[in-house]
Amino acid sequence: MITFLRSAIGVKKEMFVKMNFDQIRDLYEKEMGKLKSNEKDRVEFEKKAKESNDIDMNQPFPESEEGTPIKEMAEKKEEKNKTETLVQVQKILKRTKMMAKRKKNKKPRVVEEQKVAEEEVAPESSNQQESSTKDDVSLYMVVMDKVPEPISAEPVGVKPPEVIHWDTLTVDGKEYIRLKRKDEKYEVYSTWSKIVRTCSRSDIEEMFAIGMKSYADELKAPEISIKKLVMEYLCMMFKPDEVEEVIRNVFQTVNNWTLYETSGVYAVTLDLNHTEYFLVDRVYNHSRLKLHAMLKKRLGCIPDSQMAKYLIQRTINQSLGLDANTGI
């Protein structure tokens, strides 16, 4: 009864929620009576048309006062179905045209594993690939947005005094890294990335030497502190253990790859916002999957950086299974 009322008359679904069974049955019987009366009128009209030749058979029979005939309702449904099918056919045609255009414009991708296999079979082609990679080094570079750095009062070209000590400072429940230089001046940094961005390579080497003398026990501490994180970053760069290299070689998605020229350090940001720091002039045992992911993300650096070109060329050599310093 409900399906008949919804399809034939167009009663909405929400109307049946407020009605009980008797009300629905009364409405159903009323509408069925209308349809039966219309059907009787149509049959009588056709009999009269057959008996008398004056009446045109193609003329529509008169409508009843209570509703429209079934024939007109069926014709309306057929028209709706035709329009819907036409719209669907037009959509399918558009999709097929778009897919054909994409296939024409799509360039074939060369799988990196096939490249490695070809190099192992034909070592003579490696020289050609090395020459082509030199020209394509710029494709793996992205110019970073300039981040405003604090302006120092020292004149340009003057090297700051060496770092003689570093420790942590707690202010309002937040820990900071504090560097003490030879001229008894202090520098405070909120994160390790800011140290790598602003300090020089010699400063980081001095921090590593000081940390190994004073804070070597922090690496074994169960509690996580900023001092322990700094020591882990320094050991990862200068003294990577075999266990740490194995953990680092477990493939994770690479989100970012950035070069800091002032310190000669590049940072690789993995998933879950975990960042690893490495020295540019040192070769690490990264996995090939990780190296390919780094090249796909492209290196963030300043424009016309020779250090960036050196690092990219070395990364390409490692990803192809060649010596890291070939062709550099």
Domain boundaries, the chain: 2-68, 128-139+242-328, 144-239
- Phi/psi for 251 (5° steps) reads -70, 130
Cross-strand pairs, 176: 169
* CB proximity list for 215: less than 8 A, separation 6 or greater: 227, 231
pLDDT value at position 64? Answer: 45
- Positions of the chain with pLDDT lower than 50, given as ranges: 55, 61, 63-67, 109-114, 116-118, 120-126, 128-135, 147-156, 243, 246
pLDDT value at position 22? Answer: 79
**Crossing angle (nearest 10°) for helices 126-135 and 306-319:** 150
3-class secondary-structure state, position 121: helix
CB 269 within 8 A of CB 262: no
Cross-strand pairs, 258: 267, 300
pLDDT value at position 96? Answer: 80
pLDDT value at position 53? Answer: 53
CB 231 within 8 A of CB 271: no
pLDDT value at position 207? Answer: 93
3-class secondary-structure state, position 239: coil
Half-sphere exposure of 165 (CA within 13 A, CB side): 9
